[in-house]
């Protein structure tokens, strides 16, 4: 797969954990059109090349910004038509992240504002540094969240809290994000990546097909009624029964050794 991007850095470890770093530190990793395109294309490739990694970590370069949303300097003076075309790319981008079959963990290492916070919400779960700050500021700029923020935030924190966050546009802390259920863990500033890579490595040790199928089934929990979701779960479950990894997992347990999963 393509590893060369202008605004992203990709790195893969021997543990099959891939790290995707948004790399515009001078702009606090704000997204220009190029970054939107490259995030879209990067995660779309993982949809095709799902064996390229067993778990992904998405973070920002530097220590101040995860991503501060769309680059408003680039947007200054944009015509309505150009704005809509750029936003269509952002829509494709967030869909690519949400639809990625590989688990994606957000490592929020600084400001996650507007579209940046929406990117964190689009990931499967998030860890944040103590100094990280969050906000959906769109209503203060005459627009509304447009990268699934009005859909993903209520699923994370509840509708009433989401309304407060979105309608006021008020920033909040990593600790508040944790208390409200948006962030899974708050880490000491210097320990964020080590802790995220540890949990990503734990995921990557498990059977790849099982992990991907479990992710698909979990995503349906808030989209379908319980029995329809259970029907989807059983379909996902049955796809794991026929794998070599299922046999390897049972054999390894009985032989008291670590399993060697192949993703087959």
| pLDDT tens track for 153-195 | 999 999 999 999 999 999 999 999 999 999 999 999 999 999 9
pLDDT at 245 over 80: yes
Determine whether 118 is an active site residue.
yes
Instruction: Look up residue 171 and give its two tokens.
Output: 């920033």
pLDDT at 22 over 90: yes
Instruction: Look up residue 8 and give its two tokens.
Output: 């992203």
Residue 175's H or E segment, with its range, is: helix 174-179
189 by Cβ neighbours in 10 Å (0-12 / 13-18 / 19+) ranks as middle
CA distances from 80 to 128, 139, 227, 254 (A): 35, 18, 44, 63
Report the range of poorest mean pLDDT among 13-22, 62-71, 236-245. Answer: 236-245
Q: How many Å apart are CA 88 and CA 100, to the nearest integer?
A: 18
Q: What is the pLDDT of residues 188-238, one digit of tens each?
A: 999 999 999 999 999 999 999 999 999 999 999 989 989 998 898 889 888
Fold: same for 8-204 and 208-254: no
Instruction: Look up residue 221 and give its two tokens.
Output: 């929990």
Q: Domain residues of the chain, as ranges? A: 8-204, 208-254
CA distances from 22 to 125, 135, 194 (A): 17, 18, 18
Q: What is the pTM of this model?
A: 0.93
Catalytic one among 6, 130, 138, 195?
138
Judge: domain 208-254, CATH 1.10.12.
yes
Determine whether 205 is an active site residue.
no
Strand partners, 31: 70
Which alpha helices (H) appear in 76-158, and where do they start and end? 80-98, 115-122, 149-157
What number of H helices and E strands is found in the chain?
A: 11, 10
Q: What is the CATH code of the structural domain delimited by 8-204?
A: 3.90.226.10
* Mean pLDDT of the 86-93 span: 96
Catalytic one among 118, 233, 248, 255?
118
Are 66 and 20 within 8 A, CB to CB?
no
Nearest to 237 by CA among 212, 206, 201, 203: 212
In the block, tokens 């790290």 appear at: 19
pLDDT at 233: 87
pLDDT tier, 138 (very low <50, low <70, confident <90, very high otherwise): very high
pLDDT at 241: 86
φ/ψ of residue 96, rounded to 5: -65, -40
């Amino acid at each position: 797969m393509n590893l060369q991007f202008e605004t992203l850095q990709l790195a893969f470890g021997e543990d099959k954990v891939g790290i995707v770093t948004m790399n515009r530190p001078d702009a606090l990793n704000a997204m220009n059109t190029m970054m939107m395109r490259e995030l879209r294309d990067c995660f779309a490739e993982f949809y095709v090349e799902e064996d390229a990694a067993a778990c992904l970590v998405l973070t920002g370069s530097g220590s101040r910004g995860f991503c501060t949303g769309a680059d408003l300097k680039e947007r200054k003076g944009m015509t309505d038509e150009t704005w809509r075309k750029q936003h269509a790319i952002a829509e494709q981008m967030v869909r690519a992240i949400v639809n990625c079959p590989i688990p994606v963990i957000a490592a929020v290492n600084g400001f996650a504002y507007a579209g940046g916070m929406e990117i964190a919400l689009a990931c499967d779960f998030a860890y944040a540094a103590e100094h990280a700050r969050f906000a959906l500021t769109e209503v203060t700029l005459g627009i509304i969240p447009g990268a699934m923020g009005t859909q993903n935030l209520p699923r994370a924190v509840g509708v009433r809290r989401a309304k407060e966050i979105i309608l006021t546009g008020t920033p909040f802390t990593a600790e508040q994000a944790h208390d409200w259920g948006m962030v899974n863990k708050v880490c000491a500033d210097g320990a964020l990546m080590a802790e995220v890579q540890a949990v990503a490595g734990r995921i990557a040790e498990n059977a790849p097909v099982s992990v991907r199928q479990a992710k698909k089934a979990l995503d349906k929990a808030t989209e379908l009624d319980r029995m329809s979701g259970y029907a989807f779960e059983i379909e996902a479950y049955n796809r794991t029964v026929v794998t070599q990894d299922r046999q390897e997992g049972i054999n390894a347990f009985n032989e008291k050794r670590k399993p060697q999963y192949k993703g087959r």
